[in-house]
Amino acid sequence: METISKINEIRNIINEWKRQGLTIGFVPTMGCLHQGHLSLIEQAKNENDKVIVSIFVNPLQFRPNEDFSRYPRSLDKDLEGCRNFGADLVFTPSLNDLLPEKNLVYVDVDLLGNNLCGSSREGHFRGVCTIVAKLFNILTPDKSYFGEKDAQQLAIITRMAEDLNFNTKIVPCAIVRESDGLAMSSRNVYLTLEERQAATIISKSLSSAKSLLQKGKRDSLNIKSFIIDSIKTEPLANIDYVEIVDHSTLQFVDIIEKPILIAVAVYFGKTRLIDNLTYKEV
Ligand code: PAF
């Protein structure tokens, strides 16, 4: 496995792979890799000849009051994980190379980026799309792997690939959870012991909501209130949002008649965690 930080060097390697007719799977990350990321690398390895993982903490997707400077960084451990799970190349561009100060062009997203995380993290998806578009252009992957935990990001990137004609297939990958149900996230390392225990209320509340749906409940306001009340039973939880949206358009729904996404964001102390549930059996 090679680690490359220069754009022209990685392009040369990719050109050679393409010349040999090899397919490329791509896993974009911001590092601090956990089992969720490693499962994406594993899937990419099974479906492609070569796998590239990028590690770049993207300042464009953090608001000024967010955790960019303290975002966890663990390059040595990340490289070990990438190697163990079969990555061929790790791309670690410098800030100056990937986002030079002269950068004037950004990728903006309409509609899909306006609610959920888009409303509480203004500019976040513009930052994500801009960096992912750059990475797609540099690495020209055949397939790109994104976790379903970031459901809104996945929907937006899928739409970006379609609308901007990127020649890469976006592959959604299932959420990976801890044994007690907490969705794996690089931000889980911020949690104190008490917050870590309290955070299981998110997946518990989503599972209970799923039972309501399975019993035929279809009024989204009722289900939303049920989830809010359930999360509020945990005193350390501070809800950012709980929303029920159409699975593909991400627009709010009143009556659940089509596949939906229940998306939640909850603070535990300063740590904001997201999770979601897709329900398609309607
Ligand atoms: O999901 C992430 O880690 C980031 O949003 C991504 C896709 C690597 C872009 O910076």
pLDDT tens column, 17-72? 999 999 999 999 999 999 999 999 999 999 999 999 999 999 999 999 999 999 99
Separation of alpha carbons 116 and 99, rounded Å = 27
One domain, residues 63 and 19: yes
**Which of 67, 132, 146 is the best mutation target for the ligand 1 pocket, counting ligand atoms within 8 Å of the beta carbon and taking the most?**
132
Q: What percentage of the chain carries pLDDT values higher than 70?
A: 100
Has 34 been annotated as catalytic? no
Across 178-203, average pLDDT:
98
One domain, residues 169 and 196: no
C-beta 57 within 6 A of ligand 1:
no
**Per-position b or e across 70-90, b if 16+ CB within 10 A of its CB:** ebeeeeeebbebbeebebbbb
Across 230-252, average pLDDT:
97
One domain, residues 195 and 168: no
Closest-CA residue, ligand 1 atom 5, reads 128
Closest-CA residue, ligand 1 atom 9, reads 128
- The pLDDT, as a whole number, for residue 259 is 96
C-beta 150 within 6 A of ligand 1:
yes
- The pLDDT, as a whole number, for residue 14 is 98
- The pLDDT, as a whole number, for residue 127 is 97
Closest-CA residue, ligand 1 atom 3, reads 29
- Residue that finishes a domain, picked among 173, 200, 215: 173
For ligand 1, what atom is nearest to the CA of residue 186?
Answer: 3
For ligand 1, what atom is nearest to the CA of residue 147?
Answer: 1
C-beta 117 within 6 A of ligand 1:
no
CATH of the domain at 76: 3.40.50.620
- The pLDDT, as a whole number, for residue 282 is 84
- Residue that finishes a domain, picked among 110, 140, 173: 173
In a domain, 178, yes or no: no
Instruction: Flag whether pLDDT at 85 surpasses 90.
Output: yes
Interval between CA 147 and ligand 1 midpoint (Å): 10
Interval between CA 121 and ligand 1 midpoint (Å): 14
In a domain, 228, yes or no: yes
One domain, residues 190 and 169: no
Look at residue 184 and give its three-state secondary structure: coil
C-beta 152 within 6 A of ligand 1:
no
In a domain, 180, yes or no: no
One domain, residues 119 and 30: yes
In a domain, 72, yes or no: yes
**Cβ–Cβ under 8 Å, residues 274 and 242:** no
Domain that holds residue 205: 186-279
Instruction: Flag whether pLDDT at 281 surpasses 90.
Output: no
Across 232-250, average pLDDT:
97
- The pLDDT, as a whole number, for residue 238 is 98
Q: Work out the pLDDT band at 272, boundaries 50, 70, 90.
A: very high
In a domain, 181, yes or no: no
One domain, residues 134 and 7: yes
One domain, residues 214 and 269: yes
Question: At 244, which helix (H) or strand (E)?
Answer: strand 237-246
In a domain, 110, yes or no: yes
For ligand 1, what atom is nearest to the CA of residue 157?
Answer: 7
Please tell me the total count of domains within the chain. Answer: 2
- Residue that finishes a domain, picked among 173, 194, 214: 173
C-alpha distance from residue 249 to each of 20, 21, 154, 227, 281 (Å): 39, 36, 12, 22, 17
